[in-house]
Chains A and B, each alone.
Chain A
């Protein structure tokens, strides 16, 4: 996890979960960190603020969302995809 995007996301999640960012591994899930649905919404908000993105996450149907919050790696991948889309559009 040396890349900048992953580092910033780990920081955002760590702040919500009250853990050290180093404890967050690619296969770490929100459940592992004890993040409830409200905390996940806060993480999504933190990511939107940090990267100036709109994350297509719907708390009603987390599994149906286009944004996969299954584990840390999938979140990073999703954010990178959104950044790429945004760069392509601008």
Chain B
């Protein structure tokens, strides 16, 4: 089997626009969660989120483009630009045709163009308008980010969108890596993009009663729920020999992926499904438990996720769980749902590249039921040879990615 490396990364998150801003936030333990400012919050019960406040589509796109690009597509194109520029795959905007034919585009979004849906349902149901703009469908469709990215750069290989709730990005990255590993493609553009931070989107999440009104405190005894985020991270994956031959800088290796379904409950996590996904990722990567120095946890800060996840980590790593560093960067960039795994892959690439483990911020009090080293509140310099990134979705769908230093 061929090896798969990451040669480009682009990010938009609550920590800033661009991978450097995201990295700096992770290094400094900056919390991107704040009072919601982009929409009216009068009728919302939950008034905090990790908004990508600085991101305005009109800074990047003209009026005609904006009529076709939902916020998720806007963020995907901006992040893809940054990732492509870093990879050096294209000389100019489009890759050459031979490479384009061998390049996949697999980008996750759990909810698609939710802002577009929300705005236009409002228009037809509330404002009683009898018509909507002609491009609502190409704007809201879940594959719009994939299609716009493939169109822009000329990626003509397999392309699809992935929707598995909070595990969407990890499923996308795992599938994209598989295409390159098996030789079906030579490169793949992958990651995830999401923004559910519109009125209807937040209302839907409020309904579940799993959201915190006051902050995201993963693994802390005082945790009381998740906080929504938004953003996008795009990774350029490449077959390792090819990347090395052209002298590309290698940010890390996608060494393996594990994907499982709990087949039990539509919302409650099952430790066994999570553990099987982690084990599968390690197995595919040929990675021993004690090689894993860092786990970027799913770590949503709900009572049940964090407890279940800690148990799964112990189950899989055995004695090595006592030494592994585990952090939830959702404490900083929020829970970006379908983009979560991609923003967290960016955090893992940061850890592998800088040999600094990003912290779990807002940590107030250890929880004896967790009992892991969750890197509380401050980033830590530590050798990071290999890492896992966990994502466990509603619906019992789990996807775990195993990374190594490039």
Contact = CB atoms under 8 A, between A and B. Distances in A.
Interface string A32-50: 0000001001101100110
Contacts of B125: none
B135 A38 contact: yes
B137 to A, nearest CB: 11
B contact residues, range? under 10
B133 interface: yes
Nearest to A52: B130
A49 B131 CA distance: 8
A42 B134 CA distance: 6
Nearest to B63: A15
Interface in A25-70: 38, 41-42, 44-45, 48-49, 54
A60 to B, nearest CB: 14
B131 A48 contact: yes
Interface in B132-148: 133-135
Nearest to B131: A48
- How many chain A residues sit at the interface, stated as a range, is under 10
Chain A CB count within 10 A is highest, among B130, B131, B133, B135, for B131
Nearest to B129: A49
Contacts of B133: 42, 45
A25 to B, nearest CB: 24
Contacts of A45: 131, 133-134
Interface in B56-76: 67
Interface string B159-177: 0000000000000000000
A45 B123 CA distance: 15
A45 B131 CA distance: 8
A48 B132 CA distance: 10
A86 B233 CA distance: 51
Interface in A1-44: 38, 41-42, 44
Interface string B66-108: 0100000000000000000000000000000000000000000
Contacts of B67: 42
A89 B108 CA distance: 50
A63 B135 CA distance: 22
A48 B133 CA distance: 10
A50 B134 CA distance: 15
A35 to B, nearest CB: 12
A43 B250 CA distance: 48
Contacts of A44: 134
Nearest to B67: A42
Nearest to A43: B134
Interface centre among B130, B131, B134, B135 (most CB of A within 10 A): B134
B73 to A, nearest CB: 16
Interface in B106-134: 130-131, 133-134
Contacts of B134: 38, 41-42, 44-45
Contacts of A41: 134
Interface of A: 38, 41-42, 44-45, 48-49, 54
15 contacts: A38-B134, A38-B135, A41-B134, A42-B67, A42-B133, A42-B134, A42-B135, A44-B134, A45-B131, A45-B133, A45-B134, A48-B131, A49-B131, A54-B130, A54-B131
